[in-house]
Amino acid sequence: MVDTAGIENEFSLASFLEETHKDYEQTQRDLKEIDILIKQSAAEVERLAQRNSQVTSYTRQLQTNFETLPREDIKEAYEALNDVQQRLFTMRGQLEKLQSDQRNLERLAEFQRKIIELTDGTASLPSSGGRRRATGDQPNVIRVIQTEEAVRQGLVRKMHDSVASSISNFILQAEICQRFFDVNPDRARTELNALKSSAGSTFSNVKDFIFDLRPMMLDDLGVIPTLRRYAESFQEKNGLPVPITVTGVERRLESHIEVTVFRNVQELLQNALNHAQATQIQIQIDMASEQVTAVVEDNGTGFNVEDIFNGNQKTIGLSTLRERTEMLGGELGIQSNLGQGTRVEFSIPIAEDTGF
């Protein structure tokens, strides 16, 4: 009897490998193109910076004879200064975006390279037919890719909804200020104050965005201080009480364990807020000698646990949490029922002497 499922898996993995190789090659081409654009933009920024320095110096010289010079000369000088500064600001923004895109492409290329190595290494040749046979690791690889894409989509949405739209508003407000400088100074000051307020708000959003991506204090201070800070920030932004209780001996753990604990708790808090509509969430962390255990409990809508893991609900979050935890030799358990809240507990073994 023909094993149709096995054949489908073989074709699926072969197709997946082929597409991944193509994507990796395209990413490499994109990196070469963006490197050229960065060099061109950097040269233009340097040229505009020099021009800005010259025009600024000339404008300062005019200020010494401000009262005797013709108004048209003064206007021309300031218009030239404004034009070069605006072009310099735009080009610097373009350069920063290109550099950011380059970093993202480099991370994507590294991720694709690892996926290729992983799939090539976990695939074995069949006894006949010359095709590769899919192993049990294929679902894990696919889930990694799905999770990576979900994270990227979330980052894109955040960047578009907050930072990108705010920068667009900055440009608009700056243009309004320019128009009112000569004809209505009071209105110009009002617009500048509004611009300053918007910049402060955006700066705060960017800090939160960076903290969500990778809090620096996780590397500097460890997982417990970072979780306390994250819980405080989460409570301030969403108005939900999030008490955190820590038992055992608070200490540094290996970096990959600290990252996993933080990411797991972070995702569970977001799930409780976005999907369970919880009004109360609590966190418990136990730093025992041989393992770290975390519990996140909420009073939200709850769900059927079996539906999450048998594919009846379209979610990869909790399945990924379980796989991430089990890869480190840990365990994750979920208690939940519709209308009765959710309790998620996971534990990860730790070495007694980690050197941290």
Contact criterion met (CB below 8 Å) for 223 and 261: yes
Q: Domain end: 213, 246, 281, which one?
A: 213
220 and 294 part of one domain: yes
205 and 226 part of one domain: no
Q: Which residues of the chain have pLDDT under 70?
A: 1-14, 16, 63, 65-69, 71, 118-170, 172-173, 204-205, 207-214, 308-316, 352-356
| Residue 295 forms part of a structural domain | yes
158 and 169 part of one domain: yes
Closest CA to 302 of 332, 243, 344: 344
Q: Domain end: 213, 246, 274, which one?
A: 213
120 and 63 part of one domain: yes
Write the CATH number for 309: 3.30.565.10
| pLDDT at residue number 268 | 93
Dihedral of the CA atoms 267, 272, 277, 283 (nearest 10)?
Answer: -130
DSSP 279: S
204 and 238 part of one domain: no
| Residue 245 forms part of a structural domain | yes
| pLDDT at residue number 144 | 54
310 and 343 part of one domain: yes
| Residue 307 forms part of a structural domain | yes
124 and 227 part of one domain: no
For residue 274, the enclosing domain spans 216-349
| pLDDT at residue number 208 | 65
Please tell me the distance from the alpha carbon of residue 230 to that of residue 277, in angstroms, as a whole number.
19
| Residue 199 forms part of a structural domain | yes
DSSP 237: H
Q: For the chain, how many structural domains are there in total?
A: 2
- Hunting for tokens 């696919």 — which residue is that? 142
| pLDDT at residue number 130 | 39
| Residue 246 forms part of a structural domain | yes
Please tell me the distance from the alpha carbon of residue 267 to that of residue 231, in angstroms, as a whole number.
12
pLDDT digits (tens, 9 = 90+) for 40-86: 888 888 888 888 888 787 777 776 766 666 767 777 777 777 777 77
205 and 261 part of one domain: no
199 and 236 part of one domain: no
Q: Domain end: 213, 234, 251, which one?
A: 213
161 and 40 part of one domain: yes
pLDDT digits (tens, 9 = 90+) for 280-329: 999 999 999 999 999 999 999 988 887 766 654 544 478 778 888 888 89
- Compute the residue count for the chain: 356
202 and 310 part of one domain: no
151 and 14 part of one domain: yes
| Residue 356 forms part of a structural domain | no
| Residue 156 forms part of a structural domain | yes
| pLDDT at residue number 225 | 94
| pLDDT at residue number 353 | 53
Angle at 118 between CA 117 and CA 121, to 5 degrees: 80
